[in-house]
Amino acid sequence: LAPSNPSPLDAKKQCVHQDKAIVYPKRTRTQRLLFLQGSEYLRPNELLQVACSQYDISGEEYCDSMRNNGVWGGGPEIVALCNYLRRPIHVYELIDVCKSKNK
């Protein structure tokens, strides 16, 4: 039997589910545009095509490769993650001060 009073966890799950439904009311997953920067957007399949074209492989091969241990993601994966989390991600590259002074 289901409990007559939902637990706070059940209420939270329902709220999260409702929140997701509110965010994308008129679009399906394949129609959603991914934000790049400024006023630049592209579709998920376009992002995948750009990523796999760098390695001259299919989208399926690219995704299979990304599932392997020890394979690092790059720009396309950061774009996807930013859009999924709806948060900016800033990447900083550390530069050796001694080496940069000698250049």
Instruction: Please report, in tens digits, the pLDDT of each residue of the chain (103 residues total).
Output: 444 554 444 444 444 444 443 333 344 555 689 999 899 999 999 999 999 999 999 999 999 999 999 999 999 999 999 999 999 999 999 988 887 676 6
Say how many C-beta atoms besides its own lie within 10 A of residue 34's C-beta.
17
pTM: 0.60
